[in-house]
Structure 1
Amino acid sequence: MPYDAPSDLASLSLLEIAEAVEQRRLPPVEQWNPAETADSHMRIAADGTWFHEGRPIARKAMVRAFASLLTRDGDGRYWLVTPQCRQSIEVEDAAFIATDMQVKDGALAFRLNIDELVLAGPDHPLRAAGTPDTPAIYLSVRRGCEARLDRSTWLQLAEHALAGEGDDPAVTSQGARFSLLPA
């Protein structure tokens, strides 16, 4: 079955975004406990580019397929998990990149570099890291993996926060409030 990327984020309503999120079916990685462990010889660069044995993976469909198997354990290690094998994967910064953001009916909707949509909120919190001079904002995606907001998406979020009320640079999405100041 061919993959249909969601429409342009700005053209979607909150209901359409929520439906697209709900329709995304992921493998049940949490249910698999493979006995075999190996090295995938893969790396996700800080800019979101996926590599295998030093060469970029050019096919977006392959990246989306691998991303659906990605998990992060309690020790911070990343794994590609199948029913037969758990393979380590190096992640330089974050597993995903948030490339666009829209404000829709009290929710912040993000598009990832793998064409997934994520609604920030209690189940997908935003986290501020870095320093006040070089801040970084991360969005919880799934299974311990996060997306780092790229520069333009970070600026969209900052403009939204500055348009709000109060002196504290913070945003609210689906009833959850997130400070944009690094802790």
Structure 2
Amino acid sequence: MGVCFVNNGSKPENIVANLQFLNKKKGLPPVHSWNPPFCGDIDMRISRDGRWHYNGSPIGRESMVKLFASVLRHDDDGHYYLVTPVEKVRIQVDDAPFVAVSAEARDGANGPEYLFTTNVGDEVVLSNEHNLKMIKSMKTGEFVPYIRVRDRLDALVNRNVFYQLVAEAVEARVTEGIELSIRSQGQNYSLGVVEGG
């Protein structure tokens, strides 16, 4: 049975201590195969700009943020958790847990493709597995771009990156106006429709 450190004043260091063995393994840990006890909430939050905070203060150590990001899980209940083999703690995420900070158009094995990089160093190629979607914001009513990083974890596409994609997009006339799209691995991905035109 797992030990719930969070009930005894858990700190990020406790989670790090439970994950020391990960430093010796390559790739992401198998968080979906771990089924530890739920140990409650921890005062950790990911803001909309992708910054991680603990007790209201930014976490400055990039290596710690990357470690936490590697054990982040988005469960069926809609909540985000940090999961180790011995405990599972809930954290708050303001929007998406990651931010796509760059997009590179390049020639891939299956033709032109876009390589996205997140603020924590994940690299994903825009594809069926890592699709781009435009979601309407409940606050502003505008459509906001996200790319799937892994499992149910998305990255908000940084505004500058989105403007880059728009500048490189192909235009096509549709009933509503002009649709902008980019192509990656043989698929077209819509960036939205400009009315009129």
Settle same-fold status: TM greater than 0.5.
yes
Which residue pairs with 1:17 in the alignment? none
- SS at structure 1 position matched to 2:40: strand
Q: 1:128 aligns with which of 130, 134, 155?
A: 134
Q: 1:53 to 1:26 in 2, by over 3 A?
A: same
Instruction: State whether residues 135 and 144 of structure 2, in contact with CA within 8 Å, keep that contact through their aligned partners in structure 1.
Output: yes
Instruction: State whether residues 38 and 85 of structure 1, in contact with CA within 8 Å, keep that contact through their aligned partners in structure 2.
Output: no
Pairwise CA RMSD of aligned residues?
1.9
Are residues 1:110 and 2:116 paired? yes
Q: Please give the alpha-carbon distance, in whole angstroms, between the structure 1 residues aligned to 2:129 and 2:123.
A: 14
Runs of 4+ in 1 over 6 A off after TM superposition: none
Q: 1:171 to 1:36 in 2, by over 3 A?
A: same
User: What 5-or-longer segments of structure 2 have no aligned partner?
Assistant: 1-25, 174-178
More strand by share: 2
Question: Highest Rg: 1 or 2?
Answer: 2
Provide the identity percentage. 37
Which residue pairs with 1:159 in the alignment? 167
Which residue pairs with 1:147 in the alignment? 155
- SS at structure 1 position matched to 2:67: helix
TM, length-normalised to structure 2: 0.74
Report the count of equivalent residues. Answer: 157
TM, length-normalised to structure 1: 0.80
User: What 5-or-longer segments of structure 1 have no aligned partner?
Assistant: 1-23
Q: Please give the alpha-carbon distance, in whole angstroms, between the structure 2 residues aligned to 1:179 and 1:75.
A: 29
Which residue pairs with 1:27 in the alignment? 29
